[in-house]
Chain A
């Protein structure tokens, strides 16, 4: 099996992301692997172990921003590739999907492409579907389990966690999947993996390597601003019995015209 797992680098979830002079900044907070992508790496590594084969981590970003790829290597991925090009700075989601799809096309015979369900910075959750569409592959998103996968007959069955409940779907390989939290806790990087990752040099693929033109964005960020500050006050409603508290709460809600 040849598995590609796409990982994105995002500001640490504890970072405070704000707009300063029209630019988004997270101060000096560290960049980390998008937490959802850790589940994707976990799924990819498990499947590679079960069926043999290798896992390649694929990232897109500035050449030096390799933390996410190194984290994926330290977790156990066999290789990592960074897509980076000055023309890919500040692009939109679709343009990024085009670059990623081109990189996957460049690799030989990929059986499975794995994404995290969304990225915690842009939060669109569209990347897996977009890349699948560009590659003409089935998109199986929001996967919480992969009960069956057969590289010989080229089939995959997954459980999707959707709002309405669980859904079991089957598809043909190669396929693109996106993985959510229900998949199970991702492993930590091992020390051996850390040593390997720290030494790895990650090949960089630019537009020329991918053989594509600079994708032109369809979405432009003409202006970004901080959300208005909301003044929140908390009031604890007390009472002798739950009934009394509930009644007081109901009165309050009416009085405040919440409903």
Chain B
């Protein structure tokens, strides 16, 4: 595998970095304190094309590859996790699910405006009573002629209060032999009658982002908005996670980098016992570990991205990248706070925010315990990936970038 970035990828990386540094850094601390996302952030990301970076031009996107998506996530989370979360759910859980499973009509109608940022998307799977044990969700969808009627509540949904549409998985068959076979996924217009939603406040991290609940009461969803077949919802949802997790892995890698850079700068400046603390071996050990974890996490997500580009199933590799990077990012942020001593404990520096933000990624998109179960089951031979009816399409530069169709 060739992990050198192409010229195109390097330029994407620099562009997203410049955007995040110039436009987000100046106000992020204030937004985090206010527990609000700055209103300009998502429209601006749409205008710059970041929201549709890896979507084919024919569907309104920018025609870049999946590695570019990862690089964008790394750059965004190096500034703040809330920015990367936007790509995780809008692009990862919503747009890419449509790219993989959607019909041509669904892609024209929804993927196009999503890629352009005219619509904001999210993925609503978890419920108050079921997160890790996703097959146990109770939210229901009942067919009534040309529509499905949705009832239930989704919990901990990123961009709940901001999104226009959501990929939602509900139970359509309570009597299915296996719980997971009774689920179906839909694309739901969140402005429909019967949808109520709000943000959750008092979160530990991702405070400059929206996380909330969405309640569905007799929400009528047209049959043509079903994604995949009836009963295919578990598979559709799991493939959404293959994409969402990838963005989380890449983002966490950015958080490690940010912790490392802050630690290096501070350690060279701060003196104890007559020398910069960077000269103390115990501080060096922390820095060494952060560098190691940054490089390893970066290679793992680049590998997952390369597999995606090649159209090869990557559930195992993506899960590993997510587990390694998010655990390491929590560690890196914690050590960054430690290196900053008393100052690290205050929001005068960024590192305490990194630490609070890093924790969430160990929980969402499959908790790290779930990632370990996945890794173990592959290693033990308990799990083998079967081909899906619709795979995430391999990146084909010509097809992706063809214009004026």
Contact = CB atoms under 8 A, between A and B. Distances in A.
Interface in B335-394: none
Interface of B: 6-8, 11-12, 14-15, 18-19, 22, 48-49, 53, 62-64, 401
Given A195-B63, A195-B401, A189 B8 contact: no
A191 B19 contact: no
20 contacts: A70-B11, A71-B11, A74-B11, A185-B22, A188-B19, A189-B11, A190-B49, A191-B12, A191-B15, A191-B49, A191-B62, A191-B63, A194-B12, A194-B15, A194-B64, A195-B64, A197-B11, A198-B7, A198-B8, A198-B11
A189 B22 CA distance: 14
B66 to A, nearest CB: 14
Interface of A: 32, 70-71, 74, 185, 188-192, 194-195, 197-198
Nearest to B50: A191
- Give the one of B11, B18, B49, B63 with max A CB within 10 A: B11
Contacts of A189: 11, 14-15
A76 B15 CA distance: 14
A194 B19 contact: no
Contact of B48 (A71, A74, A188): A188
A197 B7 CA distance: 9
A250 to B, nearest CB: 28
A66 B279 CA distance: 39
Nearest to B7: A198
Nearest to B63: A195
B70 to A, nearest CB: 15
A124 B85 CA distance: 44
A194 B48 CA distance: 12
B189 to A, nearest CB: 28
A188 B6 CA distance: 19
Given A71-B11, A74-B11, A198 B6 contact: yes
B11 A192 contact: no
Contacts of A188: 15, 18-19, 48
Contacts of B7: 70, 197-198
A188 B20 CA distance: 11
